[in-house]
Amino acid sequence: MSARRTASDLIEHVLDADSFVSWDEPIDVTRWPESYRRELARAAERSGRDESVITGRATVRGRPVAVVASEFRFLAGSIGEDAARRIVTAVRRATAERIPVLATTASGGTRMQEGTPAFVRMVDISRAIMAHKAAGLPYLVHLGHPTTGGVYASWGSLGHVTVAEPGALVGFLGPKVYEVLNHRPFPEGVQTAENLVAHGIIDAVVSAEDLPALVDRTLGILVDPPKPSTLTRREPADGADLSTWEAIERTRTPDRVGVRDVLRVGGEDTIRLQGTDEGEHDSAMIVALTRLDGEPCVVVGQDRRAQARSPMGPAALREARRGMRLANELGLPLVSVIDTPGAELSPAAEEGALAGEIARCIASMSTMSVPTVAVLLGQGCGGGALALFPADVVVAAQNAWLSPLPPEGASAIVHGDADHAAEMAAAQRVSAADLLLAGHVHVLVPEEDADILEPVGLARAVAAEAATQIRRLRTESSKEGAR
């Protein structure tokens, strides 16, 4: 189990030296009963703080942040009316000053000595944070040991990026409360940071010592301006070099380039986000914050290697929608990468609302408020592929393809066998070249013979083209805004 951190630990390990400036005003406790005042006085003496949170402004690796930090030694970090008011004031000030908020939690939840009046203040905190996010400003959360109850169920669960201390106890239900009410201990291992990552609830396990590097990388993407391009763009192709069936077979080879390759050679400071943040995780979908050839963006991409082990289910599409939501909230361009042999076809997928998730992804992609680029990288089979297709600009690798069914499936429907798959693929005009001719694809990235042995070359070219289109869309948007 993780050790309990103090607010002073945060200042020492995470914030730049001597950069923290308190925003806290003195708290008047005279309105409380004398017995409670004595409790508060003892808590202040133990903790060296006047409340269970401290707030202020600081820098992390030179970047300004507003800080909201729990002090567990003050009445188990519980949130009373004064603590809640302090948090709300700090978040609103950060919004007014247009700086990110970094929150670190360590709390047993609502302060029982104050009851419901303190409990409902969690709404005020959540409202202030949502206004901060609506202003397009980052909200980052580090969950410490322990984080439970109303804190976890409000401002502890609203981060754009949420990580937790290794081994931290994090959960809605306090295990001691469960044991008293149910006369048995809560199952071990459920309320741990590592288990939450595995279930797609939080993004990573990160120690306080490693938090500055994560904050630096994250804010570098979310706050810093674009960097100059370093990748070489290939001159766009104007048609196909292979037959439709030869191209399809090329995309099905085990060493074919995938979204991981594009991020590895074309991305910088990439931060993987895990799951839907609502308790689901599907490895078939990658969601990441990155700089693609210098351009800050959100990438949602179908991972061909993961799909070789398990087909893409509805949770993967919910993860993609999380990425779309983040892009809108943070004002970052969205890049979707399509590369799937088809979504999961099973009773579980039906009961998981696969069709509805496809529809919602299409609707979200079609109505994004930020520049969008779709990359048809390889196989584009079925509704799962179409879910990530609507975009301002569609870029396709020269041998990529998009079809309502695998060609073998189309052949089975029309001919009663799979023997006419190549014929059906050509007839259905599934190739990227056909899509370019029809106006559904806007740029065709050429594929070279060398890409077969060295697929990173195609990965670089695809990343360069996607970044080029982001720059073009960003420039056009700036010109329209200036009119």
Rounded Cα distance, 311 and 392, in Å: 28
For residue 480, what pLDDT band results from cuts at 50, 70 and 90?
A: low
pLDDT at 4 over 90: no
pLDDT tens profile 6-15:
899 888 999 9
Measured CA to CA, the distance from residue 479 to residue 31 in angstroms comes to 57
Average of per-residue pLDDT values in the chain: 95
Over residues 88-126, the pLDDT tens digits come to: 999 999 999 999 999 999 999 999 999 999 999 999 999
- Mean pLDDT (whole number) for 165-187: 89
pLDDT at position 483 is 46
Interval 339-373: pLDDT, tens: 999 999 999 999 999 999 999 999 999 999 999 99
Domains and CATH numbers, the chain: 7-222 (3.90.226.10), 244-482 (3.90.226.10)
Q: What is the pLDDT of residue 179?
A: 86
**465: Cβ–Cβ under 8 A, 6 or more apart, which residues?**
233, 234, 236, 395, 443, 445
CB 273 within 8 A of CB 201: no
3-state percent helix, strand, coil for the chain, nearest multiple of 5: 45, 20, 35
Q: What is the pLDDT of residue 147?
A: 95
Percent of the chain with pLDDT over 90: 91
Confidence label for 389 from pLDDT (cuts 50, 70 and 90): very high
Q: What is the pLDDT of residue 160?
A: 98
Interval 285-319: pLDDT, tens: 999 999 999 999 999 999 999 999 999 999 999 99
CA 343 to chain centre: 21
Centre a 10 Å sphere on the Cβ of residue 10 and count the other Cβ atoms it contains. 24
* Tokens matching residue 240: 């196909």
Distance CA 432, CA 247 (A): 9
**pLDDT tens digits, one per residue of 234-275:** 999 999 999 999 999 999 999 999 999 999 999 999 999 999
Contact 141, 103 (CB under 8 A): yes
Q: Please give the structure tokens belonging to residue 377.
A: 């990288």
Over its C-alpha atoms, the chain yields an Rg (Å, rounded) of 25
Angle at 109 between CA 103 and CA 113, to 5 degrees: 130
Over residues 278-284, the mean pLDDT reads 93
State residue 180's pLDDT score. 86
- Whether residue 60 is predicted with pLDDT greater than 80 in this model: the reply is yes
Structure tokens given for 366: 């079609």
Q: What is the pLDDT of residue 235?
A: 97
pLDDT at 426: 95
163: confidence class by pLDDT, cuts 50, 70, 90: very high
